[in-house]
Amino acid sequence: MNFESLDEGVKDALNKVLSTALGVAREQLEEQGVFLPFAIGLEPQEGSDEGELRLIAVPPTDDPEDPEADIDTEAMAADLVEVLNQQGTHFEAIAIASDVLLQENDQDAIHVVAEHKVGAALAIVQPYLMPAEPGGEWTFEDPAAEAAEAVWANAR
């Protein structure tokens, strides 16, 4: 689905959840140095064109056999999709954000996939560099768009 050919309302909704998710992820990185997968849902509001943004998060699952194991962020992202599929009729658009490692250049990045209930999907990747010293400046590169498949919208 070509982004430019989408209805303005669909584009606005996708832009709203994408920009909010990117902003929340950047804020968490700057404050905490890390962020766990989360979602942003745009819920239509009666009598308003704006809609209300909702933050959706799931708790990390612990491994009882290895409490020191790394958090399984892929399982968290799958749990988010499940929650969104259960609550999906409430949202006009959603975005799922996760922290990824770009294999081609071994660089950390924020990855956000946004979907609209009409089935349109778009992904953004924004590479970043942590500061060399605590309290230093984070470097965020320009975000780049990439193709994405609808996971939430198609399940409805």
Is 150 part of any domain?
Answer: no
Is 76 part of any domain?
Answer: yes
Q: What is the pLDDT of residue 124?
A: 94
Report the distance separating Cα 116 and Cα 94, nearest Å: 7
Tell me what the mean pLDDT of segment 125-136 comes to: 91
Is 154 part of any domain?
Answer: no
63 — pLDDT class (breaks 50, 70, 90): low
The pTM score is: 0.88
Main-chain dihedrals φ then ψ at residue 88, nearest 5 degrees: -55, -30
Q: Which domain holds residue 99?
A: 1-59+70-145
Domain count along the chain: 1
Longest dimension (CA), the chain: 51
Q: What is the pLDDT of residue 151?
A: 78
DSSP for the chain reads --GGGS-HHHHHHHHHHHHHHHHHHHHHHHHHS----EEEEEE--TT-SS-EEEEE--PPPP-TT-TTSPP-HHHHHHHHHHHHHHHGGG-SEEEEEEEEEETTTTEEEEEEEEEETTS-EEEEEEEEE--SSTT---EEPPPEEE----SSGGG-
Is 109 part of any domain?
Answer: yes
Q: What is the pLDDT of residue 64?
A: 60
Interval 4-48: pLDDT, tens: 777 888 889 999 999 999 999 999 999 999 899 999 999 988 777
Interval 64-107: pLDDT, tens: 666 566 778 888 888 888 888 887 678 999 999 999 999 989 99
Q: What is the pLDDT of residue 71?
A: 77
Is 64 part of any domain?
Answer: no
Interval 133-148: pLDDT, tens: 888 899 999 999 988 8
Residue that wins the pLDDT comparison between 91 and 152:
91
Q: What is the pLDDT of residue 156?
A: 54
Is 96 part of any domain?
Answer: yes
Is 65 part of any domain?
Answer: no
Is 25 part of any domain?
Answer: yes
